[in-house]
Amino acid sequence: MTTPTDGIRCPFLGPGEFYLEYGDIDYKVTVPADMIVAGSGELLNPAEVLTAKQLARLNEARNSDKTIMIRTADEVTQTSSRPKNTGNLTWHFKMMNTRDVAFGASKAYIWDAARVNLPEGKKSLSMSVYPVESAGNGAWGRATEYLKKSIEYFSAKWFVYPYPVAVNEAGIAGGMEYPGIVFDGITDKGDELYWVTAHEIGHNWFPMIVGSNERRYAFMDEGFNTFIDVYAADEFNHGEYAPKRDGEYAPGKGNPADEIVPTIADPDAPVILTSADAVSEKYRHPIEYFKPAFGLVLLREQILGKDRFDYAFRNYIHNWAYKHPQPEDFFRSMDNGGGEDLSWFWRGWFYHNWSLDLALVDARYVDKDPKKGIQVTVANKGQMAMPFTIEVKLKDGSKQRMKLPVETWLQNKAITFVIPTTTEAESVSVDPDAVLPDMNRGNNTLGVK
């Protein structure tokens, strides 16, 4: 095994996991001949460790969008499924420009694989290994499909997957990632298996490609990865498992904007920039996964807009691939790519747990005449600022909206403005879609006086 000698190497330790420098790793695994080894990187000696039938199937999988069985459940107990049945075999792997490698080995592996289609005609290989207890399309029989589609989505959307192979292994780990290989629950099925597969392989972007340090800034690893999972779930098979609900994006099945409020309101909750080892288990998911992920959803969907956000986030990944960004590097990248100063957002959401409470104070016709419009007063009772939408519900059943920018709150804690109308209105609402983390929705709607 060869690794860099002049970089930082921190072993897996507690919630901070590991932090490594990049290098090329050439490694060999010697095991009893009846075992299958699944490892990070490219297998360099397949003819020595696979049967002729398995080699042919593996080559077929490299050109197939359908999952191809390399070793079936029936073959697991057949001595003919191994090139020899006594002694040892050495499996030789190599992985380039990687932070680490990992492998799994078992006599009981079923093995399947399929081609991964990457941008500009590039290809990779998705494969899964699992025992017969995990087989079937209701469970691990679709694991390779989940892995393939996740990689294809992340590659097309953000940055091309750089490795020749990706492996999904069923085991006792609830979910753990390494470059080119992930370890997921042996009993996982359906949406749970899809979500954990997408999340763990997503870590190949954060922190395997963008080399953030989870020991110090877990949100740049878990939070960013959880964020990209949200949209991957929306895209997979026309939203088969959407929205993403695995306890990592949000703890329940309600509105994420409401679900983050208890954490923000908790005076004991740490802030996002707290180091991983200083965050207790109670707050680990809310602070390291959920809040940063939902913050980026807000930034994409409510603040910058999808086009500007995607451009900025994509540039961040490309500019910091195989490097080690700090939080300030990310913040500056998003400011530059998004084309505006977002320091107010970083300060309130990442450096602090500031709360937002938008309140409708008054809504009345100008000069008591519906044709002159509705004069509305909105107050911000919290420290956090956000752009917001105002909706007027008219008595004829129609609705009209205005969106006000975050600059509304630069000098004001309350603002009065006129919404143009020509007919009588029933009510006025702030944040009508409940997309903002408003601490009190009870003051968001008023009847028109």
What tens digit of pLDDT does each residue of 168-181 get? 999 988 899 999 99
Q: Residue 1's pLDDT is what?
A: 36
- pLDDT over 70 at 349, yes or no: yes
How far is the first Cα of the chain from the last one, in angstroms, to the nearest whole number? 76
* C-alpha to C-alpha distance for 49 and 55, rounded to whole angstroms: 9
Q: Specify if 430 maps to a domain.
A: yes
CA-based nearest residue to 8, from 256, 213, 263, 225: 213
216/212 Cα distance (integer angstroms): 9
DSSP strand E in 136-202: where?
A: 165-171, 175-178, 181-185
Query: pLDDT band at 320, cuts 50/70/90?
Result: very high
Domain assignment present for 408: yes
Are both 261 and 228 inside the same structural domain? yes
137 lies in the same domain as 253: no
Residue 433 and residue 429: Cα distance in Å, rounded? Answer: 9
φ/ψ (deg, to 5) at 430? -105, 140
Q: What average pLDDT does this structure show over 418-431?
A: 95
pLDDT at 12: 57
Instruction: Decide which of 180, 205, 230 is a domain's last residue.
Output: 205
Which one-letter DSSP state was computed for residue 304? Answer: S
Q: Are residues 388 and 301 located together in one domain of the fold?
A: no
From 354, 376, 396, the end of a domain falls on: 354
Q: Is pLDDT of 421 > 60?
A: yes
Helix (H, G, I), strand (E, B) or coil at 286: helix
Q: Is 1 within a domain?
A: no
Per the DSSP assignment, residues forming a β-bridge with 182 are 168, 177
CB-count exposure of residue 85 (10 Å: 0-12, 13-18, 19+) = exposed
Indicate the length of the chain as a whole number. Answer: 449
On whether both 183 and 229 belong to a single domain, the answer is no
Count of H-run helices and E-run strands, the chain: 12, 20
User: The domain containing residue 256 runs over which residues?
Assistant: 212-354
Does residue 3 lie in a domain region? no
Amino acid at the residue 172: I
Any domain includes 152: yes
Answer yes or no: is pLDDT of 247 > 70.
no
Paired residues of 365 in beta bridges:
374
Nearest-angstrom CA–CA distance, 299 and 255:
17
Beta strand pairing call for 181-185 and 165-171: parallel
Q: Is residue 5 over pLDDT 60?
A: no
Give pLDDT, residue 173. 84
Say if residue 167 is in the same domain as residue 27: yes
Percent of the chain at pLDDT > 90 equals 90
Q: In whole angstroms, how far apart are CA 195 and each of 142, 245, 384?
A: 12, 8, 31
Angle at the Cα of 219 from the Cα atoms of 216 and 222, rounded to 5 degrees: 110
Q: What rounded mean pLDDT belongs to the chain?
A: 93
Q: Is the pLDDT of residue 210 over 90?
A: yes
- pLDDT, mean of residues 257-284: 95
Domain boundary residue, one of 354, 386, 416:
354
> What is the pLDDT, as a whole number, of residue 6?
37
138 & 87 share domain: yes
**For the chain, what percent of residues have pLDDT higher than 70?**
94
- Give the C-alpha separation, 393 to 391, whole Å: 6
Domain count, the chain: 3
Please give the pLDDT value at position 16.
66
User: Do the beta carbons of residue 8 and residue 22 sit within 8 Å?
Assistant: no
* Cβ atoms within 10 Å, residue 53: 13
Same domain, 53 and 180: yes
Residues 335-359, mean pLDDT to the nearest whole number: 98
Which CATH number belongs to the domain containing residue 438 in this structure?
Answer: 2.60.40.10
Distance CA 245, CA 190 (A): 12
Asked if residue 293 and residue 396 are part of one domain, the reply reads no
pLDDT of residue 178: 95
Structure confidence at residue 14 (pLDDT): 64
Helix, strand, coil fractions of the chain, as percent rounded to 5: 40, 25, 35
Q: Using CA atoms, how far apart are residues 396 and 424, in angstroms rounded to an integer?
A: 8
262: which 2 tokens?
Answer: 């208890």
Asked whether residue 4 is domain-assigned, the answer is: no
Give yes or no: residues 199 and 217 share one domain. Answer: no
The answer to whether residue 199 is domain-embedded is yes
Residue 407 shares a structural domain with residue 395: yes
* pLDDT for residue 9 is more than 80: no
Q: Which residues contact 282 (CB under 8 A, 6 or more apart)?
A: none
Residue 116 has pLDDT above 50, yes or no: yes
Q: What was the pLDDT predicted at 245?
A: 63
Place of tokens 């809504």: 363
58 and 194 share a domain? yes
Q: What is the mean pLDDT of residues 389-406?
A: 96
Of the CA atoms within 13 Å of residue 104, those in its CB half-sphere come to 26
- Confidence (pLDDT) at 13: 61
- Torsion sign (Cα): 53, 59, 64, 69: positive
The angle subtended at Cα 126 by Cα 125 and Cα 131, nearest 5°, is 135
Beta strands per DSSP E along 18-60: 19-20, 23-32, 36-39, 42-43
Mean pLDDT on 245-252 = 52
- The model's confidence at residue 253, banded by pLDDT at 50, 70 and 90, is low
Is 157 in a helix, a strand, or coil?
helix
Give the containing element (helix H, strand E) for 337: helix 327-338
